[in-house]
Chain A
Amino acid sequence: MIETQNLSKLYNRGLYALRDLSLSVQKGEFVFLTGPSGAGKSTFLRLLLLQERPSEGEIIVNGFHLDKLTRREIQEYRRGIGFVFQDFKLIQTRTVLENISFVPEVLGVPASQQRRRAFQVLKWVGLQHRINAFPRDLSGGEQQRIAIARALVNEPALVLADEPTGNLDPDLSLEIMNLFREINAGGTTVVVATHDRELIRLVGRRTITLDQGRVVEVA
């Protein structure tokens, strides 16, 4: 699903965020990406989301050679990816249902299907009773579940999560990880970046450890 060859990301000040990174993630796999702050976890996910371009090397995701994509192809590529961030990135002026149905809407899905799909994923994360609430009315755990529902509404082949439990307490963190496990059980590839070693131990999946932009351990 994900294949990188000698991937490097160099910033202007001459600092390498990633250096010579070669790794692969199989289709249907659940992988943790861990390491201390500044190890390059978020940069790697940003490269996968094409929010940034690599300085050197090659990335192939789901058959897409990311360095060769046109703007239209980038749109097509991103439609196959779900993303979850530490700060949830929910739209404060929209209700829970609108936050989710907004994704199929801006992808041109017919109106009749938008709400049906949104309601399905909301039911799956157990928040179907909060459809008319606004993000400010929800707890951190609920907001993250809404963000996960939004990531899933487009039925992506790959879900990327950057510190999804960074703002949550340990119980809620495990609850969120269980959701990711369920997503993975349905055949979706999941990559979670976290520095929470305890959580990784509890979930128990393949873990790639980065430090100073290099892979230092695969366990």
Chain B
Amino acid sequence: MRALEYSFREATASLWRGRGSSAFAIVAISLAILVFGGVLLVTSNVERLLAEWSSAAEFSVYLRDDATSEQRGALEALIDESGVAIGREYVSKAQALGRFRRDFAELASLASSFQSNPFPASVEVRVRPDATVRAESLVARLAAAPGVADVRYDREWLSRMTSALEAVRGMGFALAVVMMVAAALTVATVVRLTLYARRDEIEIMQLVGSPYAFIRGPFVAEGLLQGGLGALLALGVLWLGFRAAIGWWGGPFGDIVPEASLRFLPVHLCAWLVAGGTVVGCLGGLAAARSS
């Protein structure tokens, strides 16, 4: 306990004495955590949005113009018995044309030029969030059923987005790991400078038979403090950046992703980032202290 108290007291004093070089190490750790935290922040928000969009998935079964009411009834029975749907709605040809006129008012002249209604009738099916995979086999069966012109189940873009997200996350994490290693080396170098400046003190400590906890402890504590401060600084900058982005958010982005859907990193992830920063700093300090 005395060694711990001594280590942190000496480390705090050393950080202040060498504040220039310490700031350098703190910024290095901070940049690494900033990249890591930034990747986490972006991917966690995109991931959540993708999950929301996935849960809101639906598909449309377009009917041939000559489809009979019996064929439509058979399709609806197939959908209901599959257990995949949480709801379905029949959209007639007239309703489909009405929707087009409402949603694309600027193309009203085009709609009035139609000699006959070109929009097919359809059955729109809302898929249960836990049945998105099973829905694919239902879609295949529906596509082959009589009276069906086409089935649209656009999940491909979601899986592409998910793959892209994984790639971004992988690259971001790789970059963060490289930066973490660089930050640990920076801490080790800065601590080594401190160690060099205090070599007489260390020699005396060794000669009087001081335990290693007292000799190495201050350097490990110094690395730990640099790591912790760097991580806190990174989180602060990340939070400010997030608030600025929220303030700027709007326009076409706001229509696609409402501002309320964007969230900062959860508390447990912030705690992990601070812990990660202290561990990196601690490892840097330990590496330097081992040479004492």
Residues of B1-19 whose CB lies within 8 A of A: 2-3, 6, 17
Q: Taking chain B's interface residues, is the majority helix, strand, or loop, or is none over half, making it mixed?
A: helix
Q: Does B266 count as interface, using CB distance less than 8 angstroms?
A: no
Docked-complex contact A154 and B211, CB < 8 angstroms: no
B204: interface (CB < 8 Å) = yes
A185 within 8 A of B: no
B169-218 contacts to A, CB under 8 A, are 200-201, 203-212, 214-215
Minimum CB–CB distance for A130 against chain B, Å: 19
In the bound complex, CA of A76 to CA of B214 (Å): 14
The residues of A with any CB-CB pair to B shorter than 8 Å are 49, 51, 71, 74-79, 81, 83, 89, 91, 93, 102-103, 105-108, 150, 154
- Given A106-B6, A108-B2, check contact A76 B200 (CB 8 Å): no
Minimal Cβ-Cβ distance residue in A for B17: A93
* 13 chain-A/chain-B pairs, Cβ below 8 angstroms: A75-B209, A77-B209, A78-B209, A79-B208, A79-B209, A91-B200, A103-B204, A106-B6, A106-B208, A106-B211, A107-B210, A107-B211, A108-B211
Of all chain A residues, which has the CB nearest B210?
A106
Kindly identify which residue among A51, A91, A93, A107 contacts B208, using a CB–CB cutoff of 8 Å: A107
Cβ of A200 to closest chain B Cβ, rounded Å: 25
Contact B211 A75 (CB under 8 A): yes
Known A91-B200, A91-B201; contact A108-B3, beta-carbon cutoff 8 A? yes
Q: How far is the CA of A164 from the CA of B96 in the complex (A)?
A: 103
Q: Are B204 and A107 in contact (CB under 8 A)?
A: no
A51 to B202, CA, bound (A): 13
Q: B residues 202-257 with Cβ under 8 Å of A?
A: 203-212, 214-215
Q: Does B207 contact A106, Cβ atoms closer than 8 Å?
A: no
Q: Return chain B residues, CB-CB under 8 Å to A107.
A: 208-211
Which residues of B sit under 8 angstroms from A49, Cβ to Cβ? 207
Pick the residue among B17, B200, B214 that contacts A106 (CB under 8 A): B214
| Complex Cα–Cα for A89 and B208 (A) | 13
Q: A51 — nearest CB in chain B belongs to which residue?
A: B207
Q: In the complex the two chains form, is B207's CB within 8 Å of A76's CB?
A: no
Give bound CA distance, A80 to B222, whole Å.
30
Given B206, B209, B212, which contacts A76 in the complex, CB threshold below 8 Å? B209
Give the residues in chain B near A51, CB-CB below 8 Å: 207
Contact B211 A78 (CB under 8 A): no
Report yes or no: A78 in contact with B208, Cβ–Cβ below 8 A.
yes
